[in-house]
A and B are shown apart, each in its own frame.
Chain A
Amino acid sequence: DTAVSQTPKYLVTQMGNDKSIKCEQNLGHDTMYWYKQDSKKFLKIMFSYNNKELIINETVPNRFSPKSPDKAHLNLHINSLELGDSAVYFCASRSTGGGGYTFGSGTRLTVV
């Protein structure tokens, strides 16, 4: 019954590989996000989708491609992984009615 669930929780992969992270929310929220948290704990927004439409795309390399098949899901695909992509990636959602963001438990990506 987790509100925002991400899979996998941990991902270790080699440079150059392609990987995906999945996110699902069962809160009925309209907007979903991807955030990247670096080793210094800084949280930076990457993408935002509202009802399957991309509304925010911060300065993120083209190797990162979000996909939202429906408003309850927002997946993140990363091509040609680089060492600098190592971080914790958080999915989050929010109702357009307001309030705080609900975060998933995160995916710790390690590129070796």
Chain B
Amino acid sequence: GQQVMQIPQYQHVQEGEDFTTYCNSSTTLSNIQWYKQRPGGHPVFLIQLVKSGEVKKQKRLTFQFGEAKKNSSLHITATQTTDVGTYFCAQLAGNMLTFGGGTRLMVKP
């Protein structure tokens, strides 16, 4: 399947700081999904982006899909300790979801 690369691999932030994770592909993506996995937990679906340039918000989380549909980002404003976890982007092609490597977010209180 298509490869989606995610950066950074790890991010430490102070509580209240912003956080962004980026997802990049060398080929055009038909869609992108984002998941959050808490430590010791399982991936939980956050959102799906389909349209070029799409921007969606969920409270302090902002998701963007690039104009060329080759990249996506997840931005968290004013992080809280409850935001701790690994954030994955994933591309759905046919019936197969291929995940990026994830960005592990750690928040210092």
Contact = CB atoms under 8 A, between A and B. Distances in A.
A, B assembled together? yes
Contacts of A44: 99
Interface residues on B, range: 20 to 34
Q: What is the interface of chain B mostly: helix, strand, loop, or mixed? A: strand
A48 B95 contact: yes
Contacts of B88: 43
Contact of A50 (B45, B86, B95, B101): B95
Interface residues of A, number: 23
A103 B44 contact: yes
B42 interface: yes
Interface string A81-112: 00000000010100000111111111000000
Contacts of A102: 45
A45 B98 contact: yes
B96 A45 contact: yes
Nearest to A50: B95
A106 B42 CA distance: 7
Interface in A23-71: 31, 33, 40-45, 48, 50, 55-56
Given A41-B37, A56-B95, A99-B45, 5 more contacts: A40-B101, A41-B86, A41-B101, A100-B35, A100-B46
Interface of B: 33, 35, 37, 41-48, 86, 88, 95-99, 101-102, 104
Interface of A: 31, 33, 40-45, 48, 50, 55-56, 90, 92, 98-106
